[in-house]
Amino acid sequence: MSEYKCRQIIVFFFILISSTLVFSQIDQQTSKTEAEKWREDLRFMAQEMPKRHKDLFHQMTRQQFETAIKNLDARIPQLARNQIIVEMARIVAMVGDGHTNLYPTRDPKVGFRVLPVKLYFFKDGLFVRAAKKEQAALVGARVVKIGDLIAEQAYSKVRELIGRDNEMDVIFFAPHLLVMPEVLQALGISSDTEKARLTIEKNGKQQTVELRQIGPAEMMAGDTDMTWTAKDDWIDMRDGATETVSLWLNNPSNKFWFEMLPDKKTLYLQLNQVNNKDDETLAEFSKRLAAFIESNGVEKLVLDLRLNRGGNGTLLPPFVTALVKSKINKPGKFFTVIGRSTFSAAQFLVNDLERYTDTIFVGEPSGSKGNIYGDSRRIYMPNSGITIRTSVYYWQDWHPLDTRAWTAPHLTAELSSKEYTANVDPALKMIADHIPQKSLSMLLEDAFAKNDAALAKERFRQYRSEPINKYRYLQNELFTLTDSLLKTKKTDYAIEVLKLNVEANPQSIFAFMALGDIYAYKGEKILAREAYEKALILNPKNADGQDKLKTVSPK
């Protein structure tokens, strides 16, 4: 090689190395600039959330919030954009209510992409509910692993990013996050922001597939669950069903509608959103509904709220009034189907129905509860433009000490993958086949009539183990039975009932307070004190518990 050629090569490499150093310095400078912008957004978030939220520290302490902000601020230079957003979402979710959130599914500015599959948590596990046509072979497969984590572990990871009133909120949102490679990478579930591996099981065989992102996530509607809507170039588990589409999935875009079922005696009513239509208000619809029930031989009403994620709760009174006054407002005549998407203003309706009607709730637990922080308002980050929503009101429809996580169904009817594939609706089927059974109170009363407390316990546990009673809230029924036993001087049996109530409702302040009261009534001060102390562990600010504890404590 000539000396000239050698010099050319040396100069070329010198230029290449110099250029690399320059570009590296530019990238580093850009990184520092972007880091400062994200830090500004984080500071803005930290300042605005306490100002806007009704009570930002109802679940966490100010110190926990400030520590999380400080820790993320220090880490920002070492994190990629998707990791910063995920960590911000984690902090927002610490607030602990369903209307306070940073959701990639509600904010196009986040810009996270999705894999070519849609997942859903059915009764029997996490499944590929739908997929792009190119991935049709995956449809109906059970998801065993995402990346190197089993499905349950991956669920636990994304859970921490979801603002929630209860676990049903997580079950609703988690499948959408589990198909976002940016989320999976940020959580350490996957190593790539462009693709992810799924291990699936279908027809008894397992396989691992690698899926690449197909573009930005579709934004979810706010007040109606539209995620079931069929899409072009996608294959769904139910596409091959011989049965027609289940009624509850047949017309989600229609805010409210009704039709008679084939038995000609049952009216099916779906309220998908608490809002007016352009051509009919909810109040007008309520009058039309009431008139139809009265003049068309309706003997049973099914109100379906499974797709209703809220709206304007102030529009509900005429609708509730129509149902309360209706001839079908009788035990065994009125059924309300609820589920994980029953949220916000739909929960307000559920609260009213529980309080003022004899409806029987069917399905799975609601996605919210009676005492909530709600009515979210948006905070826009100054640099990234990302939206953070915070709750600005507190709604208290239940007793202040009511710690229920949700409204529980009287009759549990969870959707399995096989039922969905066949277009079978387990909730409607259960309602159609419903035959009233002996209540728990009747079963326990019969055991106590035989002076057999052991039999009562056995029946209680057997009742709770039955799938149809999986979520059933038993406390009010047990309190009524307790009152009846006390009136007939069966105090010892009343105590046994309240002990069973504590067993069934270990997070209920009322359960421990009632047990403490009956022990105090019997003069069992030590046992009463233990019960009151447990109630105060659940809520140290329980003034009634504080006062009663003093009455049974040593002077």
Residue found under tokens 């307790």: 482
Q: pLDDT tens for residues 485-495?
A: 999 999 999 99
Would you state the pLDDT for residue 18? 42
Q: pLDDT tens for residues 466-479?
A: 999 999 999 999 99
Would you state the pLDDT for residue 14? 40
**CATH code at position 135:** 2.30.42.10
Beta-carbon count within 10 A of 395 CB: 22
Shared-domain flag, residues 490 and 423:
no
Shared-domain flag, residues 547 and 527:
yes
Shared-domain flag, residues 422 and 312:
yes
Shared-domain flag, residues 362 and 250:
yes
Would you state the pLDDT for residue 31? 82
Shared-domain flag, residues 278 and 425:
yes
435-442: long-range contacts, CB 8 A cutoff, minimum separation 24: 436/331, 436/332, 439/477, 440/474, 440/477, 440/478, 441/477, 441/478, 441/480, 441/481, 441/484
Q: pLDDT tens for residues 115-167?
A: 999 999 999 999 999 999 999 999 999 999 999 999 999 999 999 999 999 99
Q: pLDDT tens for residues 417-449?
A: 999 999 999 999 999 999 998 999 999 999 999
Q: pLDDT tens for residues 229-248?
A: 989 999 999 998 888 889 99
Shared-domain flag, residues 263 and 191:
no
Residues 6+ apart with CB under 8 A from 104: 85, 89, 110, 112, 176, 177, 180, 182, 183, 217
Q: Which domain holds residue 470?
A: 435-552
Shared-domain flag, residues 278 and 307:
yes
Would you state the pLDDT for residue 368? 98
83 domain-assigned = no
Q: Place 6 in a pLDDT band, splitting at 50, 70 and 90.
A: very low
Would you state the pLDDT for residue 30? 42
- Mean pLDDT value across residues 374-403: 96
317 domain-assigned = yes
Instruction: Answer whether 477's CB lies under 8 Å from 440's CB.
Output: yes
Would you state the pLDDT for residue 539? 93
Whether 205 has a pLDDT exceeding 60, the answer reads: yes
361 domain-assigned = yes
Shared-domain flag, residues 248 and 299:
yes
Shared-domain flag, residues 413 and 482:
no
27 domain-assigned = no
What domain count does the chain have? 3
Whether 315 has a pLDDT exceeding 50, the answer reads: yes
Shared-domain flag, residues 343 and 321:
yes
Whether 27 has a pLDDT exceeding 50, the answer reads: no
Q: pLDDT tens for residues 79-120?
A: 999 999 999 999 999 999 999 999 999 999 999 999 999 999
146 domain-assigned = yes
235 domain-assigned = no
Shared-domain flag, residues 308 and 409:
yes
Shared-domain flag, residues 200 and 294:
no
**CATH code at position 507:** 1.25.40.10
